[in-house]
Amino acid sequence: MEYLEEQERRELWEKIQDALFNDQIDQFRAEFLEMHPYDQAKIFEEQTQDIRMQIYTYLSPEEMADVMEHIDLEETETYFTEMDPRFAAQVLSEISTDDAADILNELDKNQVASYLTIMDDEAASDIKELLYYEEKTAGSIMTTEFVVVHANQTVREAMLHLRKEAPDAETIYYIFVIDEDKHLVGVISLRDLIIAEDEWYISEVMSDRVVSVQVGEDQEEVARMMRDYNFLALPVTDFQNHLLGIITVDDVMDVMEEEASDDYSKLAGVSDMERPDEHAFQAAKKRLPWLVILLFLGTLTANLIGQFEHTLNEVAILAVFIPLIAGMAGNTGTQALAVAVRSIATGDNEKDGIFKLVLREAGTGLITGTTCGVLITGIVYVWKGDFFLGLLVGISIMAALIVATLAGALVPLIMHKLNVDPAVASGPFITTINDIISILIYFGMASTFLKLHLLIS
């Protein structure tokens, strides 16, 4: 199967549509099942409900499960709700356990209870185990469909067991080894198992240096660990080192996409990423909490400016530079914020040290602040012919950029230490905070400069 371009997908879908409209089931199945499940899912998502209902009758639960595993998680509720409940339960039984648990987490609790009741007992039991674990932990993203062998088995016995269990396993590139009490004691690669002598014991050829994660570990930490070690699969254990499941690389890719989407939404000042098909009221409900908070912070900024009304009356030209200074402080603060949040997300802050990060950002703020300060001093002097005013604006920008850079770096680091998601220190939030800081610096210095100017005069 090769990847289909959009035009190719549409041309193929026209053929499939003809088969659907003419009730040619065999023709439809021949064309549709020839495609990769990803392309099947993309075509399926574009159809009306009437056509989807027809597709449900033409595909088996196993074939429909392949399609559903490539559908965006947020969209699955719509499709499972419109399916016949018994058919939906059969589809869930065919989907890998971890993906099925993720889908059920998107559904109404009454629907979940109904599907679990209809499903066969073994599949329902495996899914219930995963639903028990807290969201965004290793337990919630692991799969229980994996192959284990015992340390006291011979290689021949292990290979026979592997051939039997492999069709239902998520991956067989790593085979984990347990003892009689189901403790994780080792790991063996498929290659090492194949080249080993039949009469050797697994304990002789396995590696007992196994990297694992606890079932309650945060999914971001799991993703980071798999990235660092270049693992294709990672075992999940309880506090007594019993093997509970494995996390595969495709699960981690989903986690990275989810976390990136979550962080981006918070950096944009939105509680959750919005979907294009959401109603305006739903989108507004997600945005309003942050906007109301920022509204009150903005009111505080306006009140601060009001406190310096006398200074503004004395030198009205100062008002011209308020947007410039506030905007520059907000921009540099957001840059530092992005660097700090990324450092936390990738674990670089722990590797390099917080002090090194803060020191670097302080140096960056000093260099950028000084450069911008000197430039604006010259620009204002040429523009207004007033060196005193240029110096005031230049020093204010220099101080504001230094402080804003430090604030942008320190706020997410402090939040991380307090076990608060650092992405909550969103762009709009840090920008508003830096507006307040820059206004205080600007008018504080303006008042001081004005007094000194009067004394000199």
- Note the CATH architecture for domain 6-133: Alpha Horseshoe (1.25)
Considering only residues 93 and 316, tell me which one the structure prediction assigns the higher pLDDT: 93
- Mapping DSSP to helix (H, G, I), strand (E, B) and coil, where does residue 179 land? coil
- Predicted confidence at residue 67, as pLDDT, reads 93
If you average pLDDT over residues 51-72, what whole number do you get? 91
Tell me the two tokens of residue 39: 């392309």
- Predicted confidence at residue 279, as pLDDT, reads 63
Distance CA 65, CA 79 (A): 12
Element (DSSP H or E) covering residue 246: strand 243-248
Considering only residues 325 and 276, tell me which one the structure prediction assigns the higher pLDDT: 325
Q: Which of these, 262, 233, 102, lies nearest to 169 by C-alpha position?
A: 233
Residue 66 has pLDDT above 80, yes or no: yes
Q: Which of these, 177, 173, 143, 182, lies nearest to 157 by C-alpha position?
A: 177
Is residue 71 within 8 Å of residue 41, measured between CB atoms?
Answer: yes
Element (DSSP H or E) covering residue 214: strand 213-214
Superfamily of domain 280-456: SLC41 divalent cation transporters, integral membrane domain (1.10.357.20)
Render pLDDT for 335-357 as a digit per residue (tens, 0 to 9): 887 787 777 766 666 666 677 88
Q: For the chain, what is the mean pLDDT?
A: 81
Render pLDDT for 113-151 as a digit per residue (tens, 0 to 9): 888 888 888 888 888 888 888 888 899 889 888 999 999
Q: How far is CA 31 from the centre of its chain?
A: 35
Amino acid making up residue 273? M
SS3 content of the chain, % helix, strand, coil (to 5): 70, 10, 20
- Predicted confidence at residue 444, as pLDDT, reads 81
Is residue 131 within 8 Å of residue 104, measured between CB atoms?
Answer: yes
Distance CA 397, CA 370 (A): 8
Helix pair 25-32, 49-58: axis angle to 10 deg: 90
Amino acid making up residue 2? E
- Mapping DSSP to helix (H, G, I), strand (E, B) and coil, where does residue 414 land? helix
Check if 6-133 and 280-456 are the same fold: no
Tell me the two tokens of residue 213: 């994660």
Distance CA 357, CA 339 (A): 9
Is residue 294 within 8 Å of residue 432, measured between CB atoms?
Answer: yes
206 phi, psi to nearest 5 deg:
-80, 160
Is residue 33 within 8 Å of residue 63, measured between CB atoms?
Answer: yes
Question: In 347-386, which residue ranges form alpha helices assigned H by DSSP?
Answer: 348-352, 354-384
Tell me the two tokens of residue 388: 């005193």
Q: Which of 35-49, 105-119, 428-442 has the lowest mean pLDDT?
A: 428-442
The strand pair at 243-248 and 233-237 is best described as: antiparallel
- Predicted confidence at residue 350, as pLDDT, reads 64
For CA atoms 190, 192, 195, 201, give the dihedral sign: negative
| CATH number of the structural domain 148-257 | 3.10.580.10
If you average pLDDT over residues 389-393, what whole number do you get? 83
Question: Per-domain residue ranges for the chain?
Answer: 6-133, 148-257, 280-456
Range from 81-95, 277-291, 403-417 that averages highest in pLDDT = 81-95
